[in-house]
Structure 1
Amino acid sequence: AIMTSEIRHLQEAMKRHPRNKRCKVFLKELIDKRKKYLSDLRRWDYRRFEWFLEKLNIVYKPYPEDFETPTKKGSVRRVTAKKCDEIREAKLAAYRAELEGQQKDFFREKAEKLAFIRAEEIACGLEPTITEEEIQLAQQKAAEFNDKN
């Protein structure tokens, strides 16, 4: 309560003399100290904390959980990281589009190669390791990509 009355008195003094640096620094330190005490009281006894706020007619704003002082270096790092992420995403999207464009030829070649391997295994008298279903599945996928494009 004493801190609050002193803070209010110093705020009035700051309105009259806004360039008084000592007063400004002392006011800020006093506000920070009161905020620290309020946060401790809030953690220990919330009901008393609320009563205290009501009686003193003040508003408590808790500290942000992930507070980081803004610096030029930090800002540059964040902007750089954001720009790098955008470039990376653009390159990945372009590469993905290129790969999707190649899928049509890939599945067509896959079906041909699977059919050739199966024919070679049968010609050599071996038991075929590739089934007709696998060949048909590759041909269906190639047909799907032909229909899309």
Structure 2
Amino acid sequence: MEWQTTSAQIPPGRLLARGVCRHLHDLGFACVTEFSPERGLRVDVIALGPKGEIWIIECKSCPADFRADQKWQGYLPWCDRFFWAVDVDFPLDLLPPATGLVLADGYGAELARMGPETRLSAPRRKAVVQSFARVAAQRLQRFCDPAP
């Protein structure tokens, strides 16, 4: 089957995102990958929880990937909690200690450290949830009808 993609063909960051999304799904979250909360920002995973909580998870496949990320603090105003997702071989001392931590691989993940909570304002939450819903619905529509 030519259309199937093996794990070896998926970039490492996407594999981490897949494992994160699988784990969050088990916790009752809905996830969207490569989500843009505003122009110039693109988060790896945004998750909407069963109580309306909004988490952002940035997946880092290696130290160089982490060091090159200059935008992550701009993601904080768009979520209630922020996390890094890395594999078990990642040097954890590089990651800011006041952020959440998820250990992941392509098949699953484990929440290693809960990110501190900074609740979104009601207007910001409404805007993020509406954008999340529109992006998810548009992607589903493109999947169901790729050539309108």
TM-score normalised to structure 1 length: 0.20
TM-score normalised to structure 2 length: 0.20
In our comparison, the structure showing a higher alpha carbon Rg is: 1
Using CA pairs under 8 Å that are at least 6 residues apart, name the structure with larger relative contact order, 1 or 2.
Answer: 2
Q: Which has the higher helix share?
A: 1
